[in-house]
Chain A
Amino acid sequence: MIEISSLSKRFGEFTAVRQLDLVVPAGELFGFLGPNGAGKTTTMRMIAGILQPTAGSIRIAGHDLLAHPLQAKRALGFIPDRPFIYEKLTGIEFLRFSAGLYGEAGPDVDRRGHELLALFDLEPWRDELVESYSHGMRQKLIIASAFVHRPAVIVVDEPMVGLDPKSSKILKDLFREYTRRGHTVMMSTHTLEIAEGMCDRIGIMQRGELVACGTMDELRASTGHDDALEDIFLRLTGDRVARELVEVLDA
């Protein structure tokens, strides 16, 4: 469970996140949408404990992130949008290292690591250096590393980028099964079809504020139109796109 209360983040004069209140309960797959620069990644990096909030609080699985960062982080798996992996480690070494950060080691970690690698078709590559992995393979390894310590909450920024259709399907199934077992997934994405098809609830951010939040039905009700998510998104975040496109091409 993620509980965010009055969360704000300022970078000098610029307010990236403004008074955000949000609860993502256990067993929910929450979609986090918004145009570029809306504050999604900043919010997720605050939840992951990488950025410190200017104001407000975050609780992960009941632990206050600011007061008890270690307990809160122990319950969290974070997949950033631009992850770093040590190029000269092998896939399995990286998974062991990731588990080690959470104090886990031994045969259990190896077993889970192998299961996750097999799930993402990376088992034949487990002893190869990461530098020889393709972009999609790296993304799958990062996703596997977020699951390897069995967190209660997964926060994932743009998980589908670079994945082939099969891996994308596997990840969707994994997220569904994971939430079905009572865990929480908070996922940001720009692929609206994925959010519409997968997520229990969707939050849309714009200019640092949550401008809409709810199930698809609730979002439709809030706009008063029986639209697809793309139309709802454009209504909420500005529908000047087509007009601007013409202006740009004519310029």
Chain B
Amino acid sequence: MREAAAAGVAANVASPPEAGAWSLLRPKWQMARNRTRHHQQGDLRRIVVVSLVALGFWSGAFVLALKLLRYFRNAEDIGALLAAKLLAMILLSFGSILLLSNTIAALSNFFLARDLDQLAAAPVRSGALYRARLAETVLHSSWMVALLLVPLVGAYGVAYRGGPDFILFALAVFAPFLLIPAALGSGVTLLLVNVFPARRTRDLLSVIAALAVAGLVLLFRAARPEQLARPEGFANFMQFVAALDTPSSPWLPSEWVSEAVVKYLSGKAAWQPLLRLWGVAAVLVGIGHLLYARGWRRAYSMAQEGATKRGTARTGRPWLDRVLAFLGPLRRELVLKELRVFARDSTQWSQLVLLAVLLVVYVANVRYLPLTGDGVTVLLRNLIPFLNLALAGFVLASIAARFVFPSVSLEGRALWLLRSSPLPIRELLWAKFWVGAVPLLLLALLLVGATNVMLRVQPFVHIVSLVSITALVFPLTALALGYGTFYPRFDTENAAQIPTSFGGLLFMITAIGLIGAIAFLAGRPAARWIVAEHFGRVRDPLDMVMPFALGVLVCMVGTALPLVLARRKLETLERG
């Protein structure tokens, strides 16, 4: 038998055909197919919940967009221009997000993925690898944007009666729109990996972050969206129309897509922007192909060196040890472990990059809100912080989903160590909770405080919004930790995938409910107080006591309950 096997595997002398891009993609396709075949308990329930949420979101977005576009249609002269401008601006934001997420996904797909060793050791041409990984990068980075585009583009098609052909046209237009940032992002990644040979991934990501933040803010400022909200800022109506009609960034693919869609829907020839899109996509993919065919092997070897050179990681942080001495040895070691693991996990850092960009855009938007023109009252300026509170809460929930929710899952293979030691589970949760809550709190205060200062709100509004966001941080952290414990994913290789799980979705739904409740309980009475003050009516502070007390109660229960349930769950977890 053994001899037969050895004979069967006798040396292969002739040169067989080479593996193409499809050979490299096939296992991914097979894995997706196998996932659907091997159902696990609860899968159906998850599919139903996720489908319902997606359907609800799609319907809501579609109805909203359709209503807005029909309103535009009724506005003579400028309706079509407004519709085009709106699409261009949304696509500009999407394009920026796509460029950043593609760059990060390309880093993972081309240089960090664990299956690359096998491919690097096999006689696979770098060109084939480029095509396969580019396809994966497009898919990984663009699926969410593509899903968001469906109701929006659908609304354009329905509002402007595009007919069934519009679906095919939209596919032809949006395919290069998704491909361009992927080709550009993967090209940038290759160049950066070559520039930073022996440095660690984190250094690379910080460069990407700096570039991305600068680029995104510049792009957004180039669009000057606030101008369009203030027609009175223009000398006359014709100037306003001219501003609408002028592309704010004519060299960007987002503008070409908008131009193509609007031209098609108004019955004009749209082949020019379409050609531009496909031409640029083809050129970028061609350049990327050339770059990867020549440079991927060297760059991959360099990326390995970066990963191997662990001696540079600072193992001791005496100052931090001293700062945390008051916690005692057990809690201090747990907190230090959490901080160190987080700081050294590049997959976590890449998430941070995305969030940093979103935060910069968020604050920049508040900074440029048109709050000084006609009709913008002190009243409005003081009511906006409560909307801001909900938005900031949502940002915090997203961050908690990214960093706190996966923390129990990330214990994964090390859980045996914690379970076999005499460590009380509550201590572990305590460390995870505070390591998540403290940075979130600092960020929350900074975010709300900074935007309040920009909006020049009253001291009363300032205090209420700061207290509310502080109160929100604790239940959000506890909920993330709780859901993360109940829906762990111990076997995942990539921390970035954990929040996109079913548990992550449930956490976000609960968090949005909580944020809505707190924004309502704090915002409504405070807004009524401001309105009364503004119009010189009688104010009764007692009106605020009940809702505020209820808000505090909700936050306390929202903090304690998930932590208690998580402790019970962890204590009974039979793993490791």
Minimum distance in angstroms from A6 CB to a CB of chain B: 18
Q: How many residues of A contact B (CB 8 A)?
A: 58
Q: Is there contact, CB below 8 Å, between A119 and B2?
A: yes
Closest partner residue, chain A, to B18 (CB atom): A103
The 0/1 profile, CB within 8 Å of B marked 1, for residues 22-66 of chain A is 000000000000000000001001001111100000000000000
Contact B3 A129 (CB under 8 A): no
Q: How far is the CA of A69 from the CA of B23 in the complex (A)?
A: 19
The reply to whether the CB of A151 lies closer than 8 angstroms to some CB of chain B is yes
Give complex CA distance A237, B399 in Å. 50
CB pair A93 B30 closer than 8 Å: yes
Interface residues of A in 74-113 (CB under 8 A from B): 74-76, 78, 80, 83-84, 86-90, 93-94, 97-98, 100-104, 111-112
Q: B297, A98: Cβ atoms under 8 Å?
A: no
* Alpha-carbon separation in the docked complex, A132 to B5 (Å): 25
**Chain A: CB-nearest residue to B38:** A129
Q: Is the CB of A88 within 8 A of B34?
A: yes
CB distance from B301 to the nearest CB of A (A): 4
B30 touches A89 (CB 8 A): yes
Q: Report the Cα distance A98→B18, complex, angstroms.
A: 12
B112 CB, min distance to chain A CBs, angstroms: 12
Decide: A152 and B11 in contact? CB cutoff 8 A: yes
Q: Does B541 touch A at the CB level, under 8 Å? A: no
Complex Cα–Cα for A29 and B573 (A): 47
Which residues of B lie under 8 Å from residue A42 when comparing CB positions? 308
A150 near B1 (CB under 8 angstroms)? no
Which of A51, A76, A111, A183 has its CB near the most chain B CB atoms (within 10 A)?
Answer: A51
Q: Are A86 and B27 closer than 8 Å at their CB atoms?
A: yes
Alpha-carbon gap, A61 to B46, bound state (A): 53
Q: In the complex the two chains form, is A11's CB within 8 Å of B298's CB?
A: no
From 16 to 39 in chain B, residues with beta carbon under 8 angstroms from any chain A beta carbon are 16-19, 23-24, 26-27, 30-32, 34-35, 38
From residue A163, how far is it (CB to closest CB) to chain B in Å? 15
B6 touches A181 (CB 8 A): yes
Contact B9 A50 (CB under 8 A): no
Q: Find the residue from A42, A98, A102, A170 having the highest chain B CB count within 10 A.
A: A102
What distance in Å separates the Cβ of B404 from its nearest Cβ neighbour in chain A?
26
A230 is an interface residue with CB less than 8 A from chain B: no
Is the pair B123, A173 in contact by a Cβ cutoff of 8 Å? no
Task: Note all chain A residues with C-beta closer than 8 A to B18.
Answer: 70, 103
A165 at the interface (CB under 8 A from B): no
Q: Which of these, A49, A100, A178, contacts B23 with CB under 8 Å? A: A100
**In this complex, what residue of B is CB-closest to A101?**
B122
* Residue pair A119, B1 in contact (C-beta under 8 Å): yes
User: In this assembly, does A233 line the interface, its C-beta being within 8 Å of a C-beta of chain B?
Assistant: no
Interface-facing stretch out of B113-121, B510-518, B563-571: B113-121
Residue in contact with A103 in the complex, picked from B19, B120, B311, B491, CB distance below 8 Å: B19
Given contacts A12-B198, A119-B2, contact A129 B34 (CB under 8 A): yes
**In the complex the two chains form, what is the Cα distance from A126 to B7 in whole Å?**
21
Chain A, residue nearest B11 (CB): A152
* A102–B31 CB distance below 8 A: no
Chain B residues whose CB sits within 8 angstroms of the CB of A149 once the complex forms: 12
When chains A and B are docked, how far (Å) is the Cα of A84 from the Cα of B120? 13
A148 to B122, CA, bound (A): 13
* B5 and A116 within 8 A (CB): yes
Which residue in chain A gives the minimum CB-CB distance to B23?
A: A100
Q: Is the CB of B31 within 8 A of A86?
A: yes
Q: Is B124 an interface residue (CB 8 A)?
A: yes
Q: How far is B300's CA from A19's CA once the two chains are assembled, in angstroms? A: 23
Instruction: Report if B8 contacts A (CB, 8 A).
Output: yes
Taking a contact as CB atoms under 8 Å apart, the answer to whether B7 and A181 are in contact is yes
Q: Per-position contact with B for A131-161: 1 when CB-CB < 8 Å, else 0? A: 1000000000000000111111000000000
Are A88's CB and B35's CB within 8 A?
yes
**B305 at the binding interface (Cβ < 8 Å):** yes
Let me know if A15 is at the binding interface, CB within 8 A.
Answer: no
User: Which residues on the A side are within 8 Å of B10 (C-beta)?
Assistant: 150, 181, 183
Interface status of B351 (Cβ within 8 A of chain A): no
Q: Decide if B31 touches A183 in the complex (CB within 8 Å).
A: no
- Interface contact B117-A80, CB-CB below 8 Å: yes
Closest B residue to A172 by beta carbon equals: B2
By the criterion CB–CB under 8 Å, are A102 and B34 in contact? no
| B337-359 interface with A by 8 A CB criterion | none
A158 to chain B, nearest CB (A): 15
- Chain A contacts for B17, CB-based, 8 A: 103
* Chain B residues positioned under 8 Å from A80 (CB to CB): 117, 121
Shortest beta-carbon distance, B237 to chain A, in Å? 60
Complex-state Cα separation, A54 to B11, whole angstroms: 30
A73 within 8 A of B: yes
**Cβ of A115 < 8 Å from any Cβ of B?**
yes
Q: Does B304 contact A (CB under 8 A)?
A: yes
Q: Are A93 and B27 in contact (CB under 8 A)?
A: yes
Residues from chain A with a CB closer than 8 A to the CB of B114 are: 84
Q: A84-B114, A103-B18, A150-B10 are in contact. Are A48 and B121 (CB under 8 A)?
A: yes
How long is the Cα–Cα vector from A74 to B6 in the complex, in angstroms?
Answer: 18
Say yes or no for B309: interface residue by CB 8 A criterion: yes
B123/A102 in contact, CB under 8 A: yes
User: Are B31's CB and A89's CB within 8 A?
Assistant: yes
**Residues of A contacting B1 in the complex (Cβ-Cβ under 8 angstroms):** 118-119
Verify if A177 is at the interface (C-beta below 8 Å from B). yes
Encoded as 1 (CB less than 8 Å from any A CB) or 0, chain B from 357 to 375 comes to 0000000000000000000
A52 to chain B, nearest CB (A): 4
Does B331 interact with chain A (Cβ within 8 Å)? Answer: no
Contact across chains for B298 and A49 when beta carbons are under 8 A apart:
no
Closest CB of chain A to B350's CB: distance in Å? Answer: 20
| Complex partner residue of A11 from B24, B125, B198, CB under 8 angstroms | B198
A90 close to B34 (CB less than 8 A): yes
Note all chain B residues with C-beta closer than 8 A to A118: 1
* A71 within 8 A of partner (CB): yes
Task: Judge whether A148 and B9 touch: CB under 8 Å.
Answer: yes
Q: Does A174 contact B (CB under 8 A)?
A: yes
Q: How far is the CA of A174 from the CA of B491 in the complex (A)?
A: 33
A177–B122 touching, CB < 8 Å = no
| Residues on A with beta carbons closer than 8 Å to the beta carbon of B420 | none
Q: Mark A176-194, 1 if CB is under 8 A from B, else 0.
A: 0110011100000000000
What chain B residues lie within 8 Å of A69 (beta carbons)?
A: 123, 297
Q: Are B121 and A76 in contact (CB under 8 A)?
A: yes
A84 to B112, CA, bound (A): 13
Q: Tell which of B9, B17, B114, B120 has the most Cβ of chain A within 10 Å.
A: B9
* CB-based closest 8 A-B pairs: A88-B31, A103-B16, A52-B301, A101-B122, A150-B12, A73-B123, A48-B121, A177-B6
**A/B interface sample: 30 pairs, CB < 8 A:** A11-B305, A12-B198, A45-B117, A48-B117, A48-B121, A49-B297, A50-B117, A50-B121, A52-B301, A69-B123, A70-B123, A72-B123, A80-B117, A83-B117, A88-B30, A88-B32, A88-B35, A93-B30, A98-B122, A102-B123, A103-B15, A103-B18, A104-B12, A104-B16, A111-B8, A112-B9, A116-B5, A116-B8, A119-B2, A174-B6
